[in-house]
Amino acid sequence: MIIRTLNIGLPKKEIFNGKEFITGMCKKTVSIPLVLSEEGFEGDGVGDLKHHGGSDKAVCVYAIDHYEHWEKILGRKMPDAAFGENLSVTDMNEDNVCIGNIYRAGTATVQVSQPRQPCSTLAARYGREDFVKLVVDSGRTGFYLRVLEGGRVSSGDVLSLVEQDPRRVTISFANRIYHDDRKNGEGIEKVLAVSTLSKSWQKSFLELKNRL
C-alpha cells in the first residue's frame, strides 16, 4: 500500500460544464513532504465546508487502481487526483480497508473514519449528470481518514497497517448498507458498533435505524 501521489489545492473558481464552482477539487501533485495536522495537509482546503473537511474528513483517499475503470466509462484519460483526493494509493481499496483501521503514513498516524460520498461538483467536473450514481453503484467511492498524530507525509510513502479494527467493517460493507440495503437492521447495527465511525455517518445510520 503505497502513496503514488500526494495532492493538495486551495479552493478557487473552476468552470465545470459551463457552471462556476468554488472548489478545491482540482488538486496538484507535489513531490515534497508536507505537514499533516488534524485538519488536513498544509496548503490544502475545501470550498464546501458543510459537506467536506473537518477532523473526521481530514484526508481523502482514492485507489489509483480504479482509474482504468473510469477511463473506460468516460472515454478519456483521468488526470492526477481525478477524484479530488489527497492521497492516490495502490493496493488499498474499499474491499480491503475497514472503518477504524489505523495506518502509519510517513511520520503521521491516521485512522479510517468513513466512506467518501461523491458530490454534484464531481459530476459537473466530468460533465455527467449520472456520475454520482455511477460512482455509488460501482462501489469505487474512496474513503476518508482522521489524523491521530500529525507528521510529515510524502509521495512514495508506504501506508502500513498499525491496528486492524476488530469489527472488520469494510468501506464496501458500509457503502452497501447505506446506499442499497437500508432496511438491513443487522447491517445497520454492525456499522454503528464501530465507535470510530465519523459523527456524520453515525447520525445517518441512527436515522436509518430509527426508520426501521
Q: Which pLDDT value is given to residue 49?
A: 63
Per DSSP, helices labelled H in the chain are 67-74, 120-125, 131-138, 171-180, 185-192, 199-211
Q: Which pLDDT value is given to residue 54?
A: 83
Distance CA 145, CA 53 (A): 11
> Which of the residues in the chain have pLDDT under 70?
48-53
Distance CA 5, CA 157 (A): 9
CATH number of this structure's domain 2-165, picked from the four choices 3.40.605.10, 2.30.110.20, 2.40.30.10, 2.40.33.20: 2.40.33.20
Q: Which pLDDT value is given to residue 110?
A: 98
Q: Cell triple for residue 33?
A: 513532504
Distance CA 136, CA 208 (A): 18
Q: Which pLDDT value is given to residue 156?
A: 97
Q: Which pLDDT value is given to residue 204?
A: 97
* pTM for the whole structure: 0.95
- What ranges do the domains of the chain cover? 2-165
Q: Is residue 169 within 8 Å of 191, Cβ to Cβ? A: yes
Q: Is residue 200 within 8 Å of 56, Cβ to Cβ? A: yes
Name the CA radius of gyration of the chain, rounded: 16
pLDDT digits 0-9 by tens, 135-148: 999 999 999 999 99
Q: Which pLDDT value is given to residue 46?
A: 84
Distance CA 138, CA 63 (A): 13
Q: Which pLDDT value is given to residue 52?
A: 64
- For 32, counting Cβ atoms within 10 Å of its Cβ (0-12 exposed, 13-18 middle, 19+ buried), the class is exposed
DSSP symbol at 56: G
Distance CA 35, CA 46 (A): 17
